[in-house]
Structure 1
């Protein structure tokens, strides 16, 4: 079951932005991704999420060998185990000083414990009773913690000197007791004294803080260290390196963490260059979570796609319609615009096979991602009956693709709004098959069919890329493409599935 700081870090795995206020230019040489968890997000985590997440069977956190003696009864149990905590109301505040601390205040914390108890009369020791003891402890207070890093991983530590948790009320109930007449009320006889003994010897403030420190520094810190900072990117064979490259930053409104942002090929671990670029971090904290991703990360992503030959596309008449038919007399088509081909290869089709020959460039402008690239295209004539084809031309040129990016819940989508090829050079024995004619064919007959097709097959298209964050839904999500970064901001809701 996910603990409080595991949930908080799940939120920190979310994404970023909207309105711009006072801006701070970030100069960095080591990171390309910035996460921000605001006070609103942290407060939501401790106030709302823990209302839904109940910690049960925490066998590692128990009072072992409880042996307390009151005026008339000795209470002995091998262990008294925490079975759940509930009714947690909490608030959170950030410490703006360089000590980088998070102050968590808890109210009405209710902890339930259970154990098998043997009650023995102090004078008449033959009188014994075995029961199940259920105890509820209520308390409130505050403690301070620090979210930092251990190498590239998250690290969580309790600030021991700043822990104040005071038990305000203890109630006990004995159930499933032995029914012998002489001992039927034995456990209840000294229960009030037992509560005071237990309060004094077991749950003083120092001991509760020690228990809380153990819980945070071991269990919760283990969850932090287990957060996958090398996640696979959904539906494509890449992973992202989100290792922390510097210590988090604390302000009185948010925590920021800084991550490398490198892209790698999953099966081989092959890394692609990321050159962090300065980008602007606004000071808005109205959303729960924010994320900045440097433009360099997207360029690294496309470098990997280029290296592994994934920027390859076959355009056929079946995909774009009659425009690539060598025998046609109307509209924008090969047969009408290049009569020489129609006469020599009647009732056949032209196939265009396109390859990217250079890593695409990426530019963000007016909330559009603009990809620019160099391409080589081979034009072939294909007999639709025999399937035999042969190359008639080699074409080189450029292409520019404009993509509108949007976020729907946890899935990032990209809609191709413009596909603009530009042929610069053609090597072909057919004089009429020139740059002007081919560009006209591409823009007039092919592009109209290619753009929706790109939306269907592209990684960002109709299926999109889903963020690997479990049990979280986004709402009030915004996305901005500024000069050197993609910026997302969102509120989140925890969903127990």
Structure 2
């Protein structure tokens, strides 16, 4: 339906790190005049199709001793007007159209029942040409108590400049008796139908669709992205912006993170139809929720490595290098065993977005154990680890993808139960684990793409990414496939 594009554009939800009415926002979207120009084309095409289905109720009457019946009145053509959708600063949107034309066809039947002449009856058809049809309607956008968008039609008006009627068959003087009645009926019916149709679709169909929009999206099996609106949209002369919470929670625990999103850089561009700000606050709340629920824990065994590299975790070597050959005291103390690594973070990982890239930092502890022949675990050593990496991001369709290209790792061996250990050996081991296990796992997640919470009827085209201070901005045009 024609209103869907407008509504969807108004509530697609990504945003900025601004403070709005005292509430922190993690996502922001900007819809520009170019976006509304496209919406206007979609809307007018759909409205034209709707008008072409209009019909006028049959009319029956008596004028000057002539009974008449006007039946089967229907629209046969519609000439699209000059139209546009504009922002109403501080309020919403306004859709106006000027100079539309409508052609109609119908049938008539008459019967003269004057006393001084014999009863005469006849029938024929008529064509109607309506010109100068104008309309205007406002759409007021808001937000309900659950953070969902609302919409309401306001101030619909419709005018018609002229109605021309041409009858086919019969006496021209006779038709003048009911042509005025027909003209009034057509004007009244078209005005009411246009305003009623648009208002109904906005208030009922549009309102119903918006009320059903989810304000949260599950991320995997453990996390929940909250993108509820925090205030009514902000309308400026050339764009509108919506502000959203933009926080990721542990599923079942919506405790806010103990930090606020900082202010991030803005842009003045309005050439694209839509701009989406994705802040590093979103990732940092994800890291916080994961840390608080012990999600960032991983146990690495030989089974996690590629088959041809599993031997590196052996304490006794066969035909290739293993930990036992790199750390002789390990082979002596725990022969014929395999080493397992328990990894867990000490603090939530943090992301910082700059114009240079996305930088992720994390730190934690790696504890090594020897799995002995009797299946018992023997403590070997603890390693304090700090890691820094850069992430490349890209966009395709409505998904944002990430890939890790470089990792800097700093290790410090502590509490060794097997005596002094050369740091280079441990560095080689951990680097190998990162290269073969953790990085591929992380990139596998990144290759699935982060879904932008937009309707399936909206497609991004001509999209690009821009890195700003504390945010990634998606610049895109839109294609509506409804």
TM-score, normalised to structure 1, is 0.75
Point out the more displaced range, 374-383 or 484-493.
374-383
For the residues of structure 2 that align with 1:380 and 1:172, how far apart are their CA atoms?
A: 96
| Aligned position for 2:408 | 420
1:406 CA drift (Å): 1.4
1:360 maps to what in 2?
349
Match of 1:10 among 8, 13, 20: 8
Please give the per-residue CA displacement for 1:48-96, whole angstroms capped at 9, x wherever unaligned: 465479877999x997x7645375554488x99999999677423334x
Contact 1:39/1:254 (8 A) holds in 2: yes
Q: Which residue of 1 aligns with 2:27?
A: 33
Aligned counterparts of 1:80 and 1:272: Cα–Cα separation in 2: 61
Cα contact 2:461–2:478 (8 A) shared by 1? yes
Partner of 1:312: 297
**1:156 maps to 2:171:** no
Matched, 1:449 2:432: no
Q: Distance in 1 between matches of 2:164 and 2:187?
A: 12
| Paired position in structure 2 for 1:196 | 183
CA distance in 2: counterparts of 1:416 and 1:83, whole angstroms = 60
SS in 1 for 2:270: coil
Q: Partner residue of 1:103?
A: 94
2:479 is equivalent to residue 487 of structure 1: no
Checking the alignment, whether the CA contact within 8 Å between 1:293 and 1:487 is kept in structure 2 is: yes
Cα RMSD of the aligned pairs, angstroms, is 4.6
- CA 1:330 to 1:200, structure 2 compared with 1: closer, same or farther past 3 Å? same
Of the structure 1 ranges 482-491 and 142-151, higher mean CA displacement relative to structure 2 is found in 142-151
For the pair 1:271 / 2:255, whether they are aligned, the reply is yes
SS in 1 for 2:370: strand
Change (3 A) 1:93 1:352: same
Q: Is the 8 A contact 2:464 2:476 kept in 1?
A: yes
Distance 1:196-1:323 versus aligned 2 partners, 3 A rule: same
Query: Which residue is 2:390 aligned to?
Result: 402
State the distance in 1 between where 2:423 and 2:204 align: 66
Which is further off, 190-199 or 391-400?
190-199
Whether 2:312 is the aligned partner of 1:323: answer yes
Aligned-pair CA distance for 1:285: 0.6
**Aligned-partner Cα distance in 2 for 1:426–1:464:** 38
Stretch of structure 1 that moved more, 473-482 or 405-414: 473-482
Which whole-Å CA distance do the structure 1 matches of 2:80 and 2:405 have between them?
51
1:473 maps to what in 2? Answer: 459
TM-score (norm 2): 0.77
Residues 57 and 42 of structure 1, relative CA distance in 2, 3 Å threshold: closer
Note the alpha carbon deviations across 1:140-177, whole angstroms, 9 max, x for none: 434252443144332334441x744437668999xxxx
Are 2:207 and 1:215 equivalent residues in the alignment? no
Question: For 2:356 and 2:362, how far apart are their aligned partners in 1?
Answer: 20
C-alpha separation in 1, matches of 2:227 and 2:330: 54
Instruction: Quickly say closer, same or farther: Cα 1:363–1:476, change in 2 above 3 A.
Output: same
Asked if the contact 2:96/2:136 (under 8 Å) is kept, the reply is yes
SS in 1 for 2:190: coil
Structure 1 residue 287, shift from structure 2 partner: 0.9
Asked if structure 2 preserves the Cα contact closer than 8 Å seen for 1:16 and 1:489, the reply is no
Between 1:322-331 and 1:368-377, the stretch displaced more is: 322-331
**Equivalents in 1 of 2:2, 2:29: separation in Å?**
20
Structure 1 residues 451 and 57, CA, compared in 2 at 3 Å: closer, same or farther? Answer: farther
Instruction: Say which SS state the counterpart of residue 281 (structure 1) adopts.
Output: coil
User: Tell me, which stretches of 5 or more residues in structure 1 are unaligned?
Assistant: 18-23, 174-187
Cα distance between partner residues in 1 of 2:314 and 2:48: 66
* Pairwise CA distance, 1:312: 2.5
The corresponding residue for 1:430 is 418
Count of aligned pairs between the two proteins: 460
| CA pair 171-243 structure 1, distance change in 2 beyond 3 A | farther
Alpha-carbon deviation of 1:299? 1.3
Deviation at 1:304, TM superposition (A): 1.9
Shift in Å at residue 301 of structure 1?
1.9
Distance (Å, rounded) in 1 between the aligned partners of 2:129 and 2:382:
80
- Per the TM alignment, residue 288 of structure 1 is displaced from its structure 2 partner at its CA by 0.8
Find out whether 1:231 has 2:222 as its counterpart.
Answer: no
Asked whether the equivalents of residues 56 and 83 of structure 1 are also in contact (C-alpha less than 8 Å), the reply is no
Gaps of 5+ in 2: 114-118, 168-174
1:296 aligns with 2:287: no
Q: Please show how residues 53-132 of structure 1 align to structure 2 within 5 Å.
A: 67-69=59-61, 71=63, 72=66, 74-75=68-69, 90-95=83-88, 98-106=89-97, 121=110, 123=112
- Asked if structure 2 preserves the Cα contact closer than 8 Å seen for 1:475 and 1:491, the reply is yes
The reply on whether 1:338 has 2:327 as its aligned counterpart is yes
1:488 CA drift (Å):
1.5
Displacement of 1:190 in angstroms is 9.5
1-structure distance, mates of 2:360, 2:467 = 13
Report the CA distance shift for 1:70/1:440 in structure 2 as closer, same or farther (over 3 A). farther
Instruction: Go from structure 1 to structure 2 and tell me whether the alpha carbon gap of 1:240 and 1:448 turns closer, same or farther (over 3 Å shift).
Output: closer
Q: For residues 394 and 216 of structure 1, do their structure 2 counterparts lie closer, same or farther at Cα, with a shift above 3 Å needed?
A: same
What secondary structure does 1:272 align onto?
coil
